[in-house]
Structure 1
Amino acid sequence: MTSAPAAPAPENRVSNPPTTPTAQPAPAPPASARRRPRTLLAMHADLAARLIDPATLDRLTTLADLDPALVVDDFTDPRAVEALRETEVIVSSWGCPPLDEDVLARAPALRAVIHAAGSVKHHITDACWRRGIQVTSAAWANALPVAEYTVAVILLANKELLRIREDYRARRGAYDWQAAYPHAGNYRRTVGVVGASRIGRRVLELLRPHDLRLLLHDPYVDPREARDLGARPVELDELCAASDVVSVHAPELPATRHLLDRRRLALMRDGATLVNTSRGSLLDQDALVAEVTTGRLNAVLDVTVPEVLPSDSPLYDLPNVLITPHIAGSLGGELHRMAGAAADELARYTAGLPFAHPVLAEEIDRSA
């Protein structure tokens, strides 16, 4: 969740560049073509063991000259300083420190960063682009569980799960649920997707088999492309007013702060549900709290501002709000998919092939 609008300025872009939601592993190069670049793991020290399963670790150490016992989260650490002198590839994830001018000066051989997570904005700096370092990200792999979470809660929201759960808990007995909830269910309900990002596109794909009306707002998607995605393109105000569920999938940019503001939340139908698995800043959270406190709207929030809410936030206890601690993305065993994606890209690099999922400097300012 017409005619083609005039293209807005790049900073107003809502979508991320489209990418293929799955990727095929790169073919292993012949033994004669293989080389093992010096490679360094850079991420939270305790993350590597959870991120990289044994089979993938074996593959990484076969492809590269990599010490699995050295996991760097501070580039000023003496061990990191020594390793950087000969590092050609960094395999990064959450917790990788910024690769700024000072770090790059101590890493003269660095040629590529393979990010086994989503956004690279936290550690890839302008200095990396000036150096011409190749960058790739497993954002496509992290998008898959986010989309799955989103689709699950959309279908449950239309079933009025939160309200029926509370009602059943209070009544604890037989009741005419058909009479009490005549509008529940997913048949011909309307779902509005905000942003044809990687996740937004995957959400639309997963929703298409259901008997739903799908709306899409994204100023960079023309009507034909929206229809190919299975949705009707609309302006954001219309999407808010027409949808039973509004699901937010736009990137966090200055132009998207409070994209769903007090006025647009007021446009939403009584009983509608707002789903946010993007970033908390895209919503006016104070305005949302006012709406859900009255019971007029429902909300499913995997992200908030701040990221961990204060203990006295009403969002924890409202029966019409489902709040989760930013777990829609890769969790538990799903982390291994991102490590596998990183290994695939490392295989391509060692074979002299271009990355399957490159991050480009010209796209970084309008992506998540």
Structure 2
Amino acid sequence: MRQPAIAFAMQAVRTKHVVTPEIIERLAAAGRILSSEPVEDFADPRAKRLLAETEILITSWGCPLIGSDVLASAPQLKLVAHAAGTVKGLLDSAVFEAGIAVTHAAQANAVPVAEFTLAAIIFAGKRVFRFHELYAVDRNRHRVNPMQAEAIGNYGRTIGIVGSSRIGRRVIELLKPFDYSILLYDPMVDAEEAARHGTEKVELNALMSRADIVSLHAPSLPATRHMIGEAELALMRDGATLINTARGALVDEAALLTTLKTGRIDAIIDVTDPEVPNVNSPFYALPNVFLTPHIAGAVGLERARLGNMAADEVLRYIAGEPLLHEIRRQDLEHIA
């Protein structure tokens, strides 16, 4: 059986658990692993030696740009299997022009993001973060007990999903067992398809005004930059929550901070623009903001799901089977 040469390109410090010994063993049964130590700089002599033989390159976070100079050193390269989400910023157009197949593990990364979002929705509906703050400050139940009689909780809530992406669709699936009404805004989805997913297709303004909790799952594109701005935030109900586990650029953060400072809405924010807020950013201190450092996606042991999905694609390629998660150049215009 043919055993194509396999190499890895990623930053080891950022990708622990992505390629586990078990994944290496799976790949070694079908291919010839040139080195289990990943390449971190395509310009170093070791990388040049490996690239000269590599037919399959498994990449992940921290992989340097693959452009025409890298391709010149990798004449045998036929497949780039990205064990992470987006390939934007990783691949030059020369990769696609050379006819090299590209696949990614965005579907695997969607799983933990959707799980995180489900937890965020449930906690938001129950006002968990407000309860936590008051209880920690008062250290009694004088203020938290009366809150239990307010119109909070998750029964009969309306959830607004912005973007029927991989993650958005997964969130919708996870919400189905609960007593929620689900609104969907996505210009690429018609009313019939939305209904098949158990949602109601609406325009963005209607979603922002009707939803108790708004969760963002649109890709970051020029057309979606600041799609949630002052006008959209003004439509949100008093006491509503905005959840962003997608990309910070979807939201006009100046407008969001202005709204949050009124205390009228809450926000659960896992992504910002810039990626790390300024040290003096109000996001860190506002009591109605729950800020996390981009952890909704695969972290720790969850990363092995990415490596396994990439390995699955590699094994399909070696077996001559169709790839299930292939990306073509035209796809880059509308995916994250």
Tell me the TM-score normalised to structure 1 length: 0.88
Please list the CA deviations of residues 11-64 of structure 1 after superposition, one character each: whole Å capped at 9, or x if unmatched. Answer: xxxxxxxxxxxxxxxxxxxxxxx3211111001133454312221111122222
| Alignment partner, residue 308 of structure 2 | 340
CA contact (8 A) 1:48 1:71 kept: no
| Alignment partner, residue 90 of structure 1 | 57
Summarize the alignment of residues 110-121 of structure 1 with structure 2, pairs less than 5 Å apart.
110-121=77-88
- Please tell me the residue identity of whatever aligns with 2:107: W
| Alignment partner, residue 119 of structure 2 | 152
CA distance in 2, matches of 1:123, 1:229: 33
Summarize the alignment of residues 236-251 of structure 1 with structure 2, pairs less than 5 Å apart.
236-251=204-219
- Please tell me the residue identity of whatever aligns with 2:147: A
Number of corresponding residues: 335
| Alignment partner, residue 156 of structure 2 | 188
CA contact (8 A) 1:63 1:346 kept: no
RMSD: 1.3
Whether 2:217 is the aligned partner of 1:217: answer: no
After superposition, the Cα gap between the structure-2 partners of 1:48 and 1:200, relative to the gap in structure 1 and judged at 3 Å, is closer
CA contact (8 A) 2:159 2:183 kept: yes
Summarize the alignment of residues 296-335 of structure 1 with structure 2, pairs less than 5 Å apart.
296-335=264-303
Deviation of 1:172 (Å): 2.2
Deviation of 1:197 (Å): 0.1
Which of 216, 220, 224 is residue 256 of structure 1 equivalent to? 224
**With CA pairs under 8 Å and 6+ residues apart, which has the higher RCO, 1 or 2?**
1
CA distance in 2, matches of 1:107, 1:52: 22
3-state SS of the aligned residue for 1:46? helix
| Alignment partner, residue 317 of structure 2 | 349
CA distance in 2, matches of 1:253, 1:226: 22
Deviation of 1:174 (Å): 3.6
Please list the CA deviations of residues 295-332 of structure 1 after superposition, one character each: whole Å capped at 9, or x if unmatched. Answer: 11100000001111121111111111100000000010
Summarize the alignment of residues 97-112 of structure 1 with structure 2, pairs less than 5 Å apart.
97-112=64-79
CA contact (8 A) 1:37 1:64 kept: yes
CA distance in 1, matches of 2:90, 2:111: 23
% same residue: 48
3-state SS of the aligned residue for 2:61? coil
Whether 2:92 is the aligned partner of 1:125: answer: yes
Which of 132, 143, 146 is residue 110 of structure 2 equivalent to? 143
Please list the CA deviations of residues 118-157 of structure 1 after superposition, one character each: whole Å capped at 9, or x if unmatched. Answer: 0011212211111111111110000000000001001110
CA distance in 1, matches of 2:11, 2:28: 19
In structure 2, list runs of 5 or more residues that go unmatched: none
Which of 137, 153, 167 is residue 134 of structure 2 equivalent to? 167
CA contact (8 A) 1:42 1:90 kept: yes
Tell me the TM-score normalised to structure 2 length: 0.96
| Alignment partner, residue 282 of structure 1 | 250
